[in-house]
């Protein structure tokens, strides 16, 4: 495959025709994937979970950042159902240099990771996500991107109910589209304001195990919560419906950061640091 991409950027930005979508544009993450790459480079998370791999634009950019960090692993969860659609499969095969190949979805993702040198940092989990079933990597999650589970109010509640007991003290939760689905955004504002005030909404603990409730209570007691709306203007967007991510940022209550970040007692010239 002489036309196979040699870099992640080449894969996600390759366009078959002026009117065609790139892999990055298929699910509206052509800009967000670069944002996530930068955040992974800066925060150096150990455990990243993506719910919904799709064309793997975001997964590969995050895995590239983990590779450059020399640290961490990404689990991307997908059952490959969108691979049956020519709208998704066609641009991915073209960008990957496969032409009209009949390669399966898992084999395609694995082959891409091998070719781009990212197999050590990215694992594909073949699993159906239905808004009630989620993936647990078996360790505290530092970064979560929910791109396949429902983004309406009920979907946001179900996601938070499952993952709040499973995130680390330094965590970022991104929910695709929730920033521009009005009722979802308003609900998230209420939930995050409650958590910041030290209160857990009843819906988040109803039906949860005692272990999950205890983990949520500990997180709320010891951490602060911020809600940020990452929105994109319509200009130049091929997929205008997927134009936002609601970002819940979690970090410990304190006057200085603790995640291996230097702080200074006075104004110091950066040139003086050794």
Separation of alpha carbons 113 and 119, rounded Å: 5
Stated as kind and residue range, the H or E segment containing 228 is: strand 223-231
Model confidence at 121, in pLDDT bands (50, 70, 90)? very high
Q: Rounded mean pLDDT of the chain?
A: 93
Model confidence at 132, in pLDDT bands (50, 70, 90)? confident
Residue 267 has pLDDT above 80, yes or no: no
The per-type count for the chain, helices as H runs and strands as E runs, is 10, 7
- Contact between residue 55 and residue 88 where contact means Cβ atoms under 8 Å apart: yes
Residue 97 has pLDDT above 60, yes or no: yes
3-state secondary structure of 156: helix
Confidence at residue 253, expressed as pLDDT on a 0 to 100 scale: 93
194-212: average pLDDT: 97
8-28: average pLDDT: 93
Which residues contact residue 247 at a Cβ distance below 8 angstroms, ignoring those fewer than 6 apart? 172, 173, 174, 227, 228, 229, 230
Confidence at residue 32, expressed as pLDDT on a 0 to 100 scale: 96
Confidence at residue 269, expressed as pLDDT on a 0 to 100 scale: 65
Stated as kind and residue range, the H or E segment containing 125 is: strand 122-125
Q: What is the pLDDT of residues 66-83, one digit of tens each?
A: 999 999 999 999 999 999
Model confidence at 270, in pLDDT bands (50, 70, 90)? low
Question: What is the 8-class DSSP label of residue 138?
Answer: S
Cβ of 233: how many Cβ atoms within 10 Å?
8
Confidence at residue 274, expressed as pLDDT on a 0 to 100 scale: 59
Q: What is the pLDDT of residues 227-259, one digit of tens each?
A: 999 999 888 777 788 889 999 999 999 988 877
Which residue from 56, 57, 105 is spatially nearest to 84, judged by alpha carbons? Answer: 105
Model confidence at 272, in pLDDT bands (50, 70, 90)? low
Confidence at residue 130, expressed as pLDDT on a 0 to 100 scale: 86
3-state secondary structure of 17: coil
Confidence at residue 273, expressed as pLDDT on a 0 to 100 scale: 61
- Contact between residue 159 and residue 129 where contact means Cβ atoms under 8 Å apart: no
Tell me which of 274 and 226 has the higher pLDDT.
226
For 250, half-sphere exposure in the C-beta direction (CA atoms, 13 angstrom radius) is 26
CATH T-level assignment (fold) for domain 17-254? Rossmann fold (3.40.50)
Question: pTM for this one?
Answer: 0.94
Confidence at residue 28, expressed as pLDDT on a 0 to 100 scale: 93
User: Quick one: what percent of the chain has pLDDT higher than 90?
Assistant: 81
How do 244-252 and 141-146 pair as beta strands?
A: unpaired
């Amino acid at each position: 495959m002489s036309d196979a991409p040699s870099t992640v950027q080449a894969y996600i930005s390759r366009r078959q025709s002026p009117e065609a979508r790139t892999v990055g544009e298929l699910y509206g993450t052509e800009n967000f994937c670069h944002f996530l790459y930068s955040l992974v480079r800066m925060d150096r998370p150990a455990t990243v979970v993506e719910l919904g791999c799709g064309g793997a634009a975001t997964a590969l950019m995050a895995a590239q950042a983990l590779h450059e960090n020399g640290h961490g692993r990404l689990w991307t969860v997908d059952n490959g159902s969108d691979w049956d659609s020519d709208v998704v499969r066609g641009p991915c095969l073209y960008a990957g240099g496969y032409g009209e190949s009949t390669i399966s979805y898992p084999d395609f993702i694995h082959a891409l990771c091998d070719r781009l040198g990212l197999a050590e940092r990215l694992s594909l989990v073949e699993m159906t996500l239905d808004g009630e079933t989620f993936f647990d990597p078996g360790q505290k999650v530092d970064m979560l991107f929910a791109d396949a589970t429902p983004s309406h109010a009920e979907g946001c509640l179900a996601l938070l109910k499952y993952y709040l007991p499973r995130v680390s003290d330094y965590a970022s939760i991104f929910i695709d589209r929730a920033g521009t689905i009005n009722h979802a955004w308003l609900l998230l504002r209420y939930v995050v304001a409650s958590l910041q005030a030290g209160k857990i909404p009843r819906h988040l603990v109803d039906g949860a195990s005692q272990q999950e409730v205890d983990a949520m209570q500990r997180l709320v007691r010891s951490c602060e919560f911020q809600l940020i709306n990452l929105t994109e203007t319509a200009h130049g967007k091929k997929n205008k419906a997927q134009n936002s991510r609601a970002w819940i940022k979690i970090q410990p209550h304190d006057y200085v950061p603790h995640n291996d970040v230097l702080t200074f007692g006075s104004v110091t010239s950066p040139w003086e640091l050794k």
